[in-house]
Amino acid sequence: MFKVSQEMRLNTQATAAASSSSSTSSPSGSGLEGNSPEEGGIFGRYQRTPDADAYPAEPPRVYVAPELTDAGKVQLLHFPSGALRVNSSVGFVIKRNGVKGNFEVRVEGPSGQPIQPVQQQQLDPERFQIDCHLAAGAGLYKVHIKCNSVTLPRSPFIIVAIAGIAESIEGKQQNTSVPILDSDVSKVQSRGLGLTHVSLVERNEFTVDCSQAGSNMLLVGVLGQRGPCEEVVVKHLGRSIHRITYRVCDPGDYVLVVKWGEQHIPGSPFSLSAE
């Protein structure tokens, strides 16, 4: 037995016709074509393995399987890093970096139901645009991405959707923006187990050092699948050093957002998982 690796296109629309005629046709007519741009085909790199029987009583059959894909080379460009408004549109770019094959993108809403439609637009041979609409309410949206059935590292990617700006009794929108002060968010430092691990038994803790980042306000929030977590406490220890503790009761995925004014500190938003 031997294996041959080559690029080909699978004509999935002709599967039924190919299977009915496989007993009378040769392997070259079984719906596999090298580089033909036939509509409905799936292009990629595959391994072909012939029948192991040395003396076949029937015409030989060729088994096709996707070749292993180095999904770690794939990059996501312009993926949203902060919270977005409900009913807003999301767009980002997938860059192949030489990885060949087919990409599968699936977006789940806060309830776990898939979001439709997810549109894909080819920009060039190396990049294509992904667009979807956050219309399933506030919460965590999960973006699952696969290449040749191989899941990308860090998938699913998390998008946080929040409700719109609240309105006052007179129907006028309230201004919730933070005043712009003289600060440098890149100099904010954070450390602690609460940034990487979540405990369901006791309070989680981390510190944020803003002593070199100028003057501004520290904003912290933790959002889970059922909404904000039960408790978030921010305590100023002096000299612009803060200790943050929070507590969660339900297992699942959480997003920890830490802002210095209106800008995320380095690493924010943090994706956490409680089991």
Of 262, 230, 241, nearest to 192 by C-alpha is 241
Residue 141 host element (H or E): strand 139-147
pLDDT given at position 61: 64
178 assigned to some structural domain: no
Mean pLDDT for back-to-back runs of 10 residues, the chain (275 residues): 54 55 45 42 57 60 59 86 84 88 89 87 88 87 88 87 54 51 85 89 90 89 81 89 90 89 89 85
Of 118, 122, 114, 144, nearest to 131 by C-alpha is 118
Q: Are residues 77 and 50 in the same domain?
A: no
216 assigned to some structural domain: yes
pLDDT given at position 27: 44
246 assigned to some structural domain: yes
pLDDT given at position 44: 58
Q: DSSP label at 249?
A: -
What digits encode the pLDDT tens for the residues 49-68? Answer: 555 555 556 666 655 555 55
CB 75 within 8 A of CB 99: no
What digits encode the pLDDT tens for the residues 120-133? Answer: 888 888 888 999 98
Q: Are residues 62 and 81 in the same domain?
A: no
Distances (CA, A) of 108 to 25, 105, 132, 268: 43, 10, 11, 22
172 assigned to some structural domain: no
CATH number assigned to the domain comprising residue 140: 2.60.40.10
Could you list the residue range(s) of the whole structural domain that residue 59 is in? 4-66
pLDDT given at position 145: 92
Q: Are residues 81 and 113 in the same domain?
A: yes
Q: How buried is residue 263: exposed, middle or buried, by Cβ count under 10 Å (0-12/13-18/19+)?
A: middle
What digits encode the pLDDT tens for the residues 16-54? Answer: 455 555 444 444 444 434 444 444 555 555 555 555 555
Residue 253 host element (H or E): strand 252-260
Last residue of a domain, one of 162, 196, 230: 162
Q: Are residues 89 and 132 in the same domain?
A: yes
CA–CA separation, 70 and 92 (whole Å): 21
pLDDT given at position 38: 43
CB 261 within 8 A of CB 184: no
Q: Are residues 20 and 92 in the same domain?
A: no
Of 142, 176, 178, 141, nearest to 162 by C-alpha is 141
pLDDT given at position 253: 87
* Contacts by 52-61, CB closer than 8 A, 24 or more apart: 52/1, 58/23, 59/22, 59/23, 59/25, 59/26, 59/27, 60/27, 61/22, 61/27
Q: Are residues 16 and 43 in the same domain?
A: yes
151 assigned to some structural domain: yes
267 assigned to some structural domain: yes
Q: How buried is residue 46: exposed, middle or buried, by Cβ count under 10 Å (0-12/13-18/19+)?
A: buried
Grouping H, G, I as helix, E, B as strand and the rest as coil, residue 32 is strand
pLDDT given at position 25: 47
Q: Are residues 92 and 59 in the same domain?
A: no
Q: Are residues 13 and 88 in the same domain?
A: no
Note the helical H segments in the chain.
Answer: 15-21
The number of folded domains in the chain is 3
